[in-house]
C-alpha cells in the first residue's frame, strides 16, 4: 500500500484500545497489507495481519480520499 495519512482522533484511539489494539498496531497492519477485502458486516474495507507484538488483527477503515484513511475499528482474530 502506498504512503497514506491516518486521520485519528482521541475517540477512535480510545475505541480501538478497548479492543486491545493500539494506534501503532492498526497502522502497521494496514500499511503492511497486500490485500484489502470488504467486511461482510459493514461493507467497509478490511485488512488482516499480524502485528510486531504477535497479535493477528482485523482493521476496518474508510477511505476519505485516495491518500487518507479513517480508522473505524480493529479487533483481535482467533
Chain mean pLDDT for the chain: 94
pLDDT at res. 34: 85
Q: Which three cell numbers stand for residue 9?
A: 482522533
The average pLDDT across 57-78 equals 96
pLDDT tens digits along 25-44: 999 999 999 899 999 999 99
How do beta strands 45-50 and 56-65 pair? antiparallel
Query: Which numeric CATH code is attached to 5-76?
Result: 3.10.450
pTM of full prediction above 0.75: yes
What is the residue extent of each domain of the chain?
5-76
Contact 51, 25 (CB under 8 A): yes
Q: Is the pLDDT of residue 1 over 90?
A: no
Amino acid at each position: 500500500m502506498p504512503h497514506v495519512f491516518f486521520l485519528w482522533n482521541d475517540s477512535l484511539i480510545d475505541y480501538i484500545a478497548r479492543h486491545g489494539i493500539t494506534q501503532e498496531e492498526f497502522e502497521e497492519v494496514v500499511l503492511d497489507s497486500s490485500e484489502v477485502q470488504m467486511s461482510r458486516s459493514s461493507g467497509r474495507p478490511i485488512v488482516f495481519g499480524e502485528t510486531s507484538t504477535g497479535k493477528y488483527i482485523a482493521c476496518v477503515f474508510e477511505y476519505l480520499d485516495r491518500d487518507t484513511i479513517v480508522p473505524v475499528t480493529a479487533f483481535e482474530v482467533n
